[in-house]
Chains A and B, each alone.
Chain A
């Protein structure tokens, strides 16, 4: 039997149409931050929605209140964010019908993680920060990646300005060195007004250097008295 040699394949030419295919995702930019305190939680997000180098609107809210004591802030692809918010709202309604009470913040945190992982192979392009008060009334902040990995922490930032803001929060809120004893608690020792002041300053700084952050910042503060909102204008360039 004669040996059949596989025909020599011509060397594939390097692909010239780099990045020409359609993508289901878009990035609308924006930054979200949350800080947890002993009896409060502050969640903030900028109000700019952009695509490419253009601004779509200067006045878009990325913050969504899901339960009485739990607020979700998400940056990324706002169409997926909106869809995720509706999904969680529906699941929360069902929970309320079945259990005759609102979901606690840790429970909602788990639900969000499961919802995100459910779409592990076609993810929600949403970078989430969940903030609120836990069952004991202490502030809690949960931070997520796009597919649902989450962790409770004292503070967090997500989005385009994340890398600009996180080091400042680490410096101001974390203990000076992880080697110093006694170790700090998960919640941060700032008062509510100091936390709001810090958030305003970090957003102003992020707006200086990140082109996708700006226009305004919406700040939501949750404490035992309820929920209150503040807005502050940012640079519009």
Chain B
């Protein structure tokens, strides 16, 4: 009886779950899985009289440690569409980059400006296909020919269309501000004030969010990306003495000097000729 040969087919992309059972077993035995870099996060969006305002904090955490004090969570999708991302940073970055490219190609193919619902459908079908394993929770906002739109997108692929939305670990703190103060037909100043108050609520009350406030205001005229619109968290204290190290601070135990000229061969020629 001949053994049937198994043809090794390279994976077609997407996730390989081959090691999930082994990982679960290791975790049960006490091994710690490496932590994902999550954005902790407070992200918000609201619709006002002339368009949409998106807001986000700027803290990225790896477990309990802040790994980036000033990261950018408001991602570009199209000239008139921006998206705030919460969840696993790699997932939000890659999903928004991918959809941004797809939208550009779509614009070339159709000859029209992108619509928010197009971006929405592309993102939600991608997330649903991955059944929630792509951990991206997004607030998508923009203004197109049909008007201003704001959507909340959940990791499993469901969406909500809302006049105001919050996502991330600081979403409850931010939503409390929105629910108290939101009304229809806000002016630009009122809208900016409410969005930054909501983000600040997340920054100060949620440990997963912090540092600065980023805003992005989108109208039919164009967009205004206000990076670090507010910086309410300067460093509290710096030592006056500073940290200087004199020569000789690090003990030198032994010194070896080698002439490299004897070890390095210089070859003349075009690299392409080597083949």
Q: Which residues of A contact B (CB under 8 A)?
A: 14-15, 18, 50, 53-55, 160, 164, 172, 176-177, 179-180, 194, 197-198, 200-201, 203-204, 207-212, 232-237
Contacts and interface: CB of A to CB of B under 8 A. Distances in A.
Contacts of A201: 237-239
B180 interface: no
A200 B239 contact: yes
A156 to B, nearest CB: 20
- Chain B, interface size category, equals 35 or more
Which 10 pairs of residues, A with B, have the shortest CB-CB distance? A237-B210, A201-B239, A177-B251, A204-B237, A211-B207, A209-B66, A237-B203, A204-B236, A53-B207, A237-B233
Chain B binding surface SS class: loop
Contacts of B69: 208-209
B88 interface: no
A204 B238 contact: yes
A236 B201 CA distance: 11
5 contacts: A14-B21, A14-B24, A55-B205, A200-B237, A211-B40
Nearest to A180: B251
Contacts of B66: 208-211
Contact of B253 (A172, A179, A236): A179
Interface in B229-249: 232-233, 235-241, 243, 249
Interface stretch (B2-10, B57-65, B218-226): B57-65
B100 interface: no
Contacts of B59: 237
Given A176-B251, A208-B69, A208-B235, A54 B64 contact: no
Among A53, A177, A198, A234, residue most surrounded by chain B Cβ atoms (within 10 Å): A53
B87 interface: no
A211 B208 contact: yes
A54 B207 CA distance: 6
Interface of B: 21, 24-25, 27-28, 40, 59, 61, 64-66, 69, 169, 203-211, 232-233, 235-241, 243, 249-251, 253
A162 B78 CA distance: 44
B208 A53 contact: yes
A63 to B, nearest CB: 19
Contacts of B240: 197
B236 A207 contact: yes
Contacts of B237: 200-201, 203-204, 232, 234
A76 B28 CA distance: 25
Contact of A176 (B208, B233, B250): B250
A204 B233 CA distance: 12
Nearest to B207: A211
B211 A237 contact: yes
Contacts of A204: 235-238
B236 A54 contact: no
Nearest to A202: B239
A237 B209 contact: yes
Contacts of A207: 236
